[in-house]
Amino acid sequence: MTALLRAEDLRKSYQVGRGGLFRRARRFNAVDGVSLTLNRGETLGVVGESGCGKSTLSRLVLGLSPHDSGEITFDGAPLPDEGSDDWRHLRRRMQLVYQDAAGALDPRQSIGTQIAEPLKIHNLPPERAEQALADVGLPQAMAARHPHELSGGQLQRVVIARALTLEPELMVMDEPVSALDVSIQAQIVNLIQDLQQARGMAYLFVSHDLSIVHHVADRVAVMYLGQVVEEAPKAAFYTRALHPYSKALLAAVPVPDPATRGRAAPRIGDPPNPAAPPTGCRFHPRCPHATEQCRVEAPALRDFGGRRAACHRIEELSQ
């Protein structure tokens, strides 16, 4: 069986500022050689600090912004050119759920109109709009409302419903709950999981929240400064992470237990400027185990029996 989504050595850089008359504009690599696969019905969680390229990656794999180099295949075929007819037709099969649900909806149109819009665009039966509204647990009366009359959780349900009308095979969730209250987060996460079970969609679930990713993902990929530093099945990752960065992230997850209060996680400081990444292993300035080799030589992503990690000292450290 071919993977639903496969990305090979994906790269994307952005220009920082403007070039002057005598100097070239600096560029920084938001996504710098990322490879990943996603099977049908599977959820891949992508985690990392802000600025590590998670959101850029989610836009790249959907073809919403063009990549500089590398290859993306969806269901065995390369992504068509952005804006072409093929590209537009492919929107039926892959959809994005946004972090800012309020911003992703047109403030001047009713909810009903907006949920029905994808059906109009692709000449699909309009009944699907009502079905989608019901599927995300919103009353039909919502259709007459405008976005400013809805709460954040309701807006995110609307955005999900709009994507559902197209019955996509792949949904990319870009921080779908991080703008919501904790109590609402749980509702939306449950909704997302129920929908996956009912429809068998594959999710690329991008988040900075490791506990939510633990809840929804089958596999986890950790990104650091535009690169994947570790990728593992969920159980393996949460019981024994290999990369020092993954360990630091896991240690920083707050534990709801007063007994552990005061035992703060090791502080590893702020991430370096992504426009000028460190030499060698990009994590070495913050890594407690860095050696001379780490400062000079960039580690490759190596296979460790069903999981991958990029660190020179994994064998030593895991003994």
Partner 1 sequence: MSALDRPALPARRWVWLATLSRLPVMVSVAAGFMLLMLFVTVFAQVIQPYAFDHVDLMNRMTPPVPLAGATWAHPMGTDTLGRDLFSRLLVAAQTSMLLSILGTCLGAVMGIALGFLAAHKGGLWDEVIMALVDFQAAMPWFIIALAILAFMGNSMAVFIAIMGLYGWETYARITRGLVLSAREQGYALAVRGLGAKPRRVYLHHILPNIAGPLIVQLTINFPNTILFETSLSFLGLGIRPPMTSLGQMLGEGRDYLINAWWLAVIPGLVIFLTTLSMSVLGDWLRVKLDPSLET
What residues line the site for partner 1 (CB under 8 A)?
62, 64, 88-92, 95-96, 98, 100, 102-109, 112, 117-118, 121-122, 140-141, 143-145, 159, 162, 166
Query: Whole-number minimum distance, CB 145 to partner 1, in Å?
Result: 7
Of residues 88 and 267, the one with the C-beta less far from partner 1: 88
How many Å apart are CA 137 and CA 154, to the nearest integer?
9
How many Å apart are CA 151 and CA 158, to the nearest integer?
11
Query: Whole-number minimum distance, CB 61 to partner 1, in Å?
Result: 13
Q: C-alpha distances in angstroms, 65 versus 32, 77, 231, 243, 267?
A: 15, 18, 24, 30, 35
Sheet holding 227-233, edge to edge: 94-97, 170-174, 202-207, 43-47, 219-224, 227-233, 308-309, 302-303
Of residues 124 and 265, the one with the C-beta less far from partner 1: 124
Query: Whole-number minimum distance, CB 232 to partner 1, in Å?
Result: 30
Of residues 65 and 211, the one with the C-beta less far from partner 1: 65
Of residues 142 and 222, the one with the C-beta less far from partner 1: 142
How many Å apart are CA 26 and CA 213, to the nearest integer?
34
Going through the chain in order, the beta strands assigned E by DSSP cover 5-16, 26-38, 43-47, 69-74, 77-78, 94-97, 170-174, 202-207, 219-224, 227-233, 302-303, 308-309
Of residues 142 and 281, the one with the C-beta less far from partner 1: 142
Query: Whole-number minimum distance, CB 176 to partner 1, in Å?
Result: 14
Query: Whole-number minimum distance, CB 146 to partner 1, in Å?
Result: 11
